Amino acid sequence: MNVTGHTRRPASIRDVATAAGVSYQTVSRVINGHPSVKPSTRDRVLAAIDELGFRRNATALALASGRSRAVTVLTANTTHYGYASILQGVEEAARAASYAVGIGVLESAEEAAVAAQVQRAADAGGGLIVIAYDPAGVRALTSVPAELPVVGVVETPASPPGGDRPWVWTDDREAAYQVTRHLLSLGHETVHYVAIPSSTRRTSARTSGWRQALREAGAPEPRPVQGSWGPAGGHTAGRKLAKDPAVTAVLCGNDDLALGVLRALHEAGRAVPDEVSVAGFDDAPHSAYLTPSLTTVRLDFTGLGRAAFALLHGAVEESAQVAPHPVSVPELVVRETSGRPPR
Amino acid sequence: MNVTGHTRRPASIRDVATAAGVSYQTVSRVINGHPSVKPSTRDRVLAAIDELGFRRNATALALASGRSRAVTVLTANTTHYGYASILQGVEEAARAASYAVGIGVLESAEEAAVAAQVQRAADAGGGLIVIAYDPAGVRALTSVPAELPVVGVVETPASPPGGDRPWVWTDDREAAYQVTRHLLSLGHETVHYVAIPSSTRRTSARTSGWRQALREAGAPEPRPVQGSWGPAGGHTAGRKLAKDPAVTAVLCGNDDLALGVLRALHEAGRAVPDEVSVAGFDDAPHSAYLTPSLTTVRLDFTGLGRAAFALLHGAVEESAQVAPHPVSVPELVVRETSGRPPR
DNA sequence: GCCAGGATTGTGACCGGTCACATATGGGCC
DNA sequence: GGCCCATATGTGACCGGTCACAATCCTGGC
């Protein structure tokens, strides 16, 4: 077919209808699996569909029906491992449900810029998934108009931003608690913490898990060092910590931060793990191959993305399997950067 | 307005029209900046638009006009630094042009799966940007139907896949050439190469740049070691190379691979850079903070993404600034993993 | 004062689907 | 045989815009 090579505009249901000798409505019934269509008619229509290479026009479908089978993921960044993994998880689940996935980057946390991005996402139609681990994301989540279906990916379910919106989360608090306990159990007097930028003004889930572990152990609670997201921030923070001989264990808000800290310790001549132990957060793919390899906690980001989509999907379609998402248990991964403190 | 709190369906141009006392067509003219509208009328319409909070429905626009102001990026993975950066670049440029960005992950390189993803992307409407650095991407690029506007992001412009489709590229060949020369200039007899999975059956641009440098220097040309994308592949490859005492310099197809190689060398007790020099490719953000820090070449992936979008944009809209994209010059970044060979 | 012609504005059809309702068709049952 | 109802199919309007064309207004030139 189309032997002429002419770019023919794609077949519509009316084309299929004429080809099959039925009305366009019948074709619509067939493609929607409506029960009351005579088998012989259905076959004729299906044959025509196949013959003409008909595909249902997603745009027209969205316009006419109002639902758009699309999700937009709003994120502050696409290159961070955790964010990118969440995105990948969303895409995976969306693909399985034949939803389209859009993406919007929140380049700045500034009010107007965020609002503009939310608007754009809303224009695209469909639901929204907002990664709200950082100020930009949180602001985006809170500024989503009420009538838009949205799911937040947040770090803590305790009073999550965005009010009573549905959300998914990894148990960051528990994860931080576990790593901190691990370090303490090795004999460290206390554990210092290099934080990622907090998503809210209040303390983050990671910070609070860390603090809880210290408190339970009766360990002193040093003030968290503020880091950024990348290794550069970790490096700066690490330089400060390296100067203090009392520091023997450092927990970092993510693996990139930990990398920077490791580098700073190395530059200061402090051996890891013999003098100082370091632990990260997230278990990025490269962490296992560092020298020394990084002790960290693994979080199931892809699963988180899938869960976020499932929740949104359930909220948008009636065939809702709205089972609250099973929070995956963070897994402590002990490697070479953690050890007993020097005596 | 909307004081009742009722979720009112968004205003359409006909709502605006009645509010302003004009016809819907006049409203359409105003929002499209058509010249022949009396200023006083225009003001009235703009006021009504503002009052009702009117936003042009993107779906209806796409259906009626045929053009959809959307791009879909097809990629094998969202978590690799290079890919994620390209995506980020595309999004940035698309946002500036108020285009929506969609994403499709090519989970498998298998024919049917790839075809399905291309179909889905086509259904979304708008253009396509295919990251064709790997087999899945290349297959996707070649299977895009001719009538769909598409831009390939490829590693080499010499007989790129996808026929005469427009493409953008980083000069991988030149980059590989530079790093290899750098290593040779330090005195290494030759440079071994751990390759990323090649995108085509023929040798990749990186491989050929490496080979050219060796040839020009009259150095022996060892057979490239096949790696994967991640550090695990580099680790396997590195273990093999570590056993051969003749190996004093290793170039890796990307920074993750290099990380794996570094780890393997460490485990085998071979010092870097004193016994073996290692260089990577891409300059991922963490590479500068490794210990020892990684010598690599920086490629402008974000710029590449922006260029890809610009090209597509130019192809789709008449207001075309189709200037062929200025290939950014790869930048050699010499750090600690490269040094003179042992004597 | 009349008319040509550009500036403004309006009307109807259409993009490709869905939805609500009307209209055949075919059995089963009294 | 007639009636009722479930099954099968068709018709018209609509989603919210655009496009092509028609209609009206206004102004200057003769």
* Closest-CA residue to A332 (of A116, A178, A163): A178
Residue of A nearest to B79 (CA): A84
Check whether residue A288 and residue A146 sit in a common domain.
no
Query: What strand order describes the sheet that includes A192-195?
Result: A225-226, A192-195, A249-252, A277-279
* Residue indicated by tokens 């603090």: A211
- List the nucleotides on chain D closer than 7 A to a protein CB: 7-12, 14-20
**Test the B interface: residue of A289, A293, A304 with most B CBs within 10 Å:** A289
Distance CA A81, CA B84 (A): 9
Residue A71's φ and ψ, nearest 5 degrees, are -130, 140
Rounded CA–C1' distance between A55 and D22, in angstroms: 37
Check whether residue B51 and residue B87 sit in a common domain.
no
Q: What pLDDT digit, counting tens, does each position of A103-122 carry?
A: 999 999 999 999 999 999 99
Check whether residue A74 and residue A143 sit in a common domain.
yes
Q: What is the pLDDT of residue B201?
A: 60
**Test the B interface: residue of A56, A59, A72, A256 with most B CBs within 10 Å:** A59
Residue B82 lies in a domain: yes
Check whether residue A248 and residue A289 sit in a common domain.
yes
3-class DSSP assignment, residue B97: coil
Residue B216 lies in a domain: yes
Residue of B nearest to A236 (CA): B289
Q: Which residues of A170-182 are buried (b: 16+ CB within 10 A; e: fewer)?
A: bbbbebbbbbbbb
B205-216 helix and B172-185 helix, angle to the nearest 10 degrees: 40
Residue B338 lies in a domain: no
Tell whether B2 is within 8 A of chain A (Cβ): no
* Closest-CA residue to B111 (of B139, B135, B70): B139
Q: What is the pLDDT of residue B219?
A: 97
Check whether residue B282 and residue B205 sit in a common domain.
yes
Q: Are B176 and B206 in contact (CB under 8 A)?
A: yes
Using CB atoms within 10 Å of the CB of residue B35, give its burial: 0 to 12 exposed, 13 to 18 middle, 19+ buried: exposed
Check whether residue A306 and residue A159 sit in a common domain.
yes
Chain A residues lying within 8 Å of B103, measured CB to CB: 87, 91, 101-103
Residue B93 lies in a domain: yes
Q: What is the pLDDT of residue B5?
A: 40
Here the tokens at position B164 are 């005469």
Check whether residue B185 and residue B136 sit in a common domain.
no
A-to-B residue pairs, Cβ atoms closer than 8 angstroms = 141
Q: What pLDDT digit, counting tens, does each position of A52-72 carry?
A: 999 999 999 999 998 899 999
Residue A309 lies in a domain: yes
Q: What is the pLDDT of residue B127?
A: 94
Range of the domain at A110: 68-170+300-316
Number of DSSP helices (H) and strands (E) in chain B, helices first: 12, 11
Any idea what the CATH number is for the domain that residue B45 is in?
1.10.260.40
Check whether residue A74 and residue A219 sit in a common domain.
no
Residue B35 to chain A, least CA–CA distance (Å) = 26
Query: What strand order describes the sheet that includes B277-279?
Result: B225-226, B192-195, B249-252, B277-279
3-class DSSP assignment, residue A74: strand
Q: From the list A58, A77, A146, which residue is nearest B125 (CB)?
A: A58
- B65 Cβ contacts chain D strand, under 7 Å: yes
Kindly state the helix (H) or strand (E) to which residue B75 belongs, with its residue range.
strand B70-75
Residue B303 to chain A, least CA–CA distance (Å) = 14
Q: What pLDDT digit, counting tens, does each position of A218-228 carry?
A: 999 999 998 88
Q: What pLDDT digit, counting tens, does each position of A248-293 carry?
A: 999 999 999 999 999 999 999 999 999 999 999 999 999 999 999 9
Any idea what the CATH number is for the domain that residue A148 is in?
3.40.50.2300
The yes-or-no verdict on residue A2 having pLDDT over 60 is no
Q: Are A81 and A257 in contact (CB under 8 A)?
A: no
Q: What pLDDT digit, counting tens, does each position of A227-256 carry?
A: 888 899 999 999 999 999 999 999 999 999
Distance CA A238, CA A247 (A): 10
Distance CA A324, CA A310 (A): 9
Name which residue leads in pLDDT, B175 or A166: B175
Check whether residue B164 and residue B178 sit in a common domain.
no
Here the tokens at position A157 are 């379910």
- Tell me what the pLDDT averaged over chain A comes to: 91
Check whether residue A190 and residue A100 sit in a common domain.
no
Kindly state the helix (H) or strand (E) to which residue A152 belongs, with its residue range.
strand A150-154
Check whether residue A157 and residue A178 sit in a common domain.
no
For the segment A331-340, the average pLDDT, to the nearest whole number, is 97
Here the tokens at position A88 are 């990948």
Check whether residue A166 and residue A177 sit in a common domain.
no
Band the pLDDT of A4: cuts 50, 70, 90: very low
Residue A201 to chain B, least CA–CA distance (Å) = 28
Tell whether B288 is within 8 A of chain A (Cβ): yes
Which of 123-152 (A) contact B at CB < 8 A? 123-125, 146-147
Residue A4 lies in a domain: no
Q: What is the pLDDT of residue B311?
A: 92
Domains held by chain B: number? 3
Residue B328 lies in a domain: no
> β-strand B127-131 against B150-154: which pairing, if any?
parallel
Residue B179 to chain A, least CA–CA distance (Å) = 23
Chain A residues lying within 8 Å of B286, measured CB to CB: 231, 256, 259, 286
Name which residue leads in pLDDT, B223 or A328: B223
Distance CA A297, CA A283 (A): 6
Residue B7 lies in a domain: no
Here the tokens at position A36 are 């009351």
Residues sharing a CB contact under 8 Å with residue B338, sequence separation 6 or more, in sequence order: B182, B183, B186, B249, B273, B277, B278, B279, B295
Instruction: Walk along chain B (343 residues) and give the pLDDT tens digit of each residue.
Output: 333 444 568 999 999 999 999 999 999 999 999 988 999 999 999 999 999 999 999 999 999 998 899 999 999 999 999 999 999 999 999 999 999 999 999 999 999 999 999 999 999 988 999 999 888 999 999 999 988 999 999 887 666 566 678 889 888 999 999 999 999 999 999 999 999 887 666 678 899 999 999 999 999 999 999 888 889 999 999 999 999 999 999 999 999 999 999 999 999 999 999 999 999 999 999 999 999 999 999 999 999 999 999 999 988 876 655 556 667 889 999 999 999 999 7
Rounded CA–C1' distance between B98 and C17, in angstroms: 26
Percent of chain A with pLDDT over 90: 78
